[in-house]
């Protein structure tokens, strides 16, 4: 298949803003048939769950980033005895391991709620950038199963295993989020040097033996996850700055810094950090054939799908992609998180599906190991809507014109039936007596029906598209709320 060009400038892959670090310039199609088949199946799933969780949850702060010496308001240090002293703060942050004891941890309840909402896969943070492992790694003691961590005595101490087992039991795919950078590893942030930014704090070219130790450490931990935690469907790698960079890429980055940072002070650097991703992917697939690898922000064959972060693209994208979106609060747990309304969440899912993508919805467990009750309430309402309209969501593909006004389109990839999904207007006026699906015309003998309701609807092709008529009796007794899917059995 042809290489497909994105709309994001190349330098964004190396920009310091962590909220943009996933952006790249193009997509490279896989050649492994097993991976392509798995990607096709993944595109059928449409709706997944992301969970950021670690010892940092005890402070209700952004995950990991407050120990990174980069100057952004969203990762400002506010906790601890002396947040103005970086080294004191970092030590106290790392000592959160000594009090992490989420005794309310109940992955079975999470898994049932996710399955009930219509979610089909989970991506769990086995390790974030701070290096704290939520799995029983034998290559570090900075982990939830360390004897220094009080939760290590709990029968469910190997949290990653418990999460994957519970979600697979409910029929969901298992995805392992893993951070390539590790700010606790002495092979990445060498204690001989202070950390400068998010990057390795020494020159890998000057200390190749030290860098090789980090490469081996990273590969060993990934292989633990691939070998000891059952079937893994997705390896979701974060920290795109840890990647092989050519001299031209490094030069382009610093040229951008010189042109845009008038003081000459870069908040972050571009450093060639080759962890041999081709090798990692090959080894992982020996254990997990067909594994989807998502090497975020790194152009090449190891980023099997793209991950727009906390936003939805304006239009359809011609490659596999997934918007990872915060459901409420932050990526990690914060007190009194306010969740999206069901209308916002359902309309977002429909919008993403119409553009050919998946929604990865982030819900953050708290320090007690529990989800906020608002998360359960939201997922329950999403599930009620999906129960009625599932065939307009799952196993569908994008069809032009994708979305016009407040009507989104999807198409079943096998039957080719088209679904026009009417998004309720902001005034809560429900489904109107008639509406026109622009850009689509029904075939001569097509049948139109409202999902969840009996009988067929009257329709008429016009110059703009197909006009759909909804009888008053049906409008008073709709099968669901917030959005309604009209099935068009065949289009011209």
Contact 189, 211 (CB under 8 A): no
| pLDDT digit string, tens, across residues 405-440 | 999 999 999 999 999 999 999 999 999 999 999 999
Q: What is the average per-residue pLDDT within 204-223?
A: 98
| pLDDT digit string, tens, across residues 90-102 | 999 999 999 999 9
d(CA 482, CA 350) in angstroms, rounded, equals 11
Sheet holding 434-438, edge to edge: 434-438, 465-469, 458-461
Tell me which of 13-27, 367-381, 447-461 is least confident.
Answer: 13-27
d(CA 194, CA 200) in angstroms, rounded, equals 10
Look at residue 18 in the predicted model and tell me its pLDDT: 35
* pLDDT category of residue 267 using cuts at 50, 70 and 90: confident
Does the structure show a pLDDT above 90 at 6? no
User: Percentage of the chain surpassing pLDDT 70?
Assistant: 95
Look at residue 1 in the predicted model and tell me its pLDDT: 32
* pLDDT category of residue 129 using cuts at 50, 70 and 90: very high
Does the structure show a pLDDT above 70 at 473? yes
Q: Which of 17, 25, 1 is nearest to 297 (CA)?
A: 25
Does the structure show a pLDDT above 90 at 24? no
* Total-model pTM: 0.94
Does the structure show a pLDDT above 60 at 10? no
């Amino acid at each position: 298949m042809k290489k497909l060009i994105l709309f994001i400038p190349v330098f964004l892959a190396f920009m310091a803003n962590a909220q943009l670090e996933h952006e790249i310039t193009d997509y490279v199609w896989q050649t492994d048939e097993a991976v392509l088949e798995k990607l096709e199946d993944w595109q059928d799933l449409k709706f997944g769950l992301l969970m950021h969780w670690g010892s940092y949850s005890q402070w209700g702060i952004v995950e990991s980033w407050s120990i990174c010496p980069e100057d952004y308001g969203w990762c400002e240090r506010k906790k601890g005895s002396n947040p103005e002293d970086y080294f004191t703060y970092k030590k106290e942050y790392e000592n959160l391991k000594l009090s992490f004891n989420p005794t309310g941890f109940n992955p079975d309840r999470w898994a049932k709620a996710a399955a009930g909402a219509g979610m089909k896969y989970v991506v769990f943070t086995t390790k974030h950038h701070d290096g704290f492992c939520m799995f029983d790694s034998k290559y570090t003691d900075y982990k939830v199963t360390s004897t220094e961590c009080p939760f290590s005595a709990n029968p469910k101490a190997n949290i990653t295993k418990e999460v994957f087992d519970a979600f697979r039991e409910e029929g969901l795919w298992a995805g392992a989020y893993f951070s390539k950078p590790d700010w606790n590893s002495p092979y990445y942030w060498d204690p001989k040097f202070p950390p400068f930014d998010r990057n390795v704090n020494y020159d890998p070219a000057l200390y190749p033996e030290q860098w090789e130790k980090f490469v081996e450490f990273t590969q060993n931990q990934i292989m633990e996850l691939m070998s000891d935690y059952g079937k893994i469907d997705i390896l979701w790698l974060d920290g795109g700055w840890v990647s092989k960079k050519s001299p031209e890429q490094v030069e382009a980055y610093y040229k951008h810094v010189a042109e845009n940072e008038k003081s000459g002070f870069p908040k972050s650097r571009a450093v060639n950090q080759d962890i041999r991703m081709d090798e990692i992917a090959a080894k992982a697939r020996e254990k997990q054939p067909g594994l989807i690898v998502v090497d975020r922000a790194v152009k090449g064959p190891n980023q099997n799908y793209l991950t727009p972060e906390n936003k939805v693209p304006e239009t359809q994208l011609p490659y596999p992609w997934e918007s990872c979106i915060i459901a409420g609060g932050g990526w990690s747990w914060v007190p009194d998180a306010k969740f999206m309304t069901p209308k916002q969440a359902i309309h977002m899912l429909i919008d993403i599906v119409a553009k050919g993508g998946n929604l990865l919805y982030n819900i953050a467990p708290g320090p007690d190991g529990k989800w906020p009750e608002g998360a359960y309430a939201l997922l329950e309402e999403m599930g009620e809507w999906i129960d009625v309209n599932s065939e307009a969501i799952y196993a569908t593909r994008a069809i032009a014109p994708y979305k016009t006004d407040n009507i989104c389109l999807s198409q079943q990839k096998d039957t080719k039936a088209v679904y026009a999904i009417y998004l309720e207007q902001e005034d809560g006026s429900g489904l109107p007596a008639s509406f026109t699906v622009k850009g689509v015309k029904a075939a001569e003998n097509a049948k139109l029906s409202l999902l969840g309701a009996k009988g067929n609807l009257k329709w008429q092709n016009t110059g703009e598209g197909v006009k759909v008529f909804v009888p008053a009796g049906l409008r008073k007794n709709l099968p669901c709320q917030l959005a309604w899917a009209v099935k068009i059995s065949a289009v011209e």
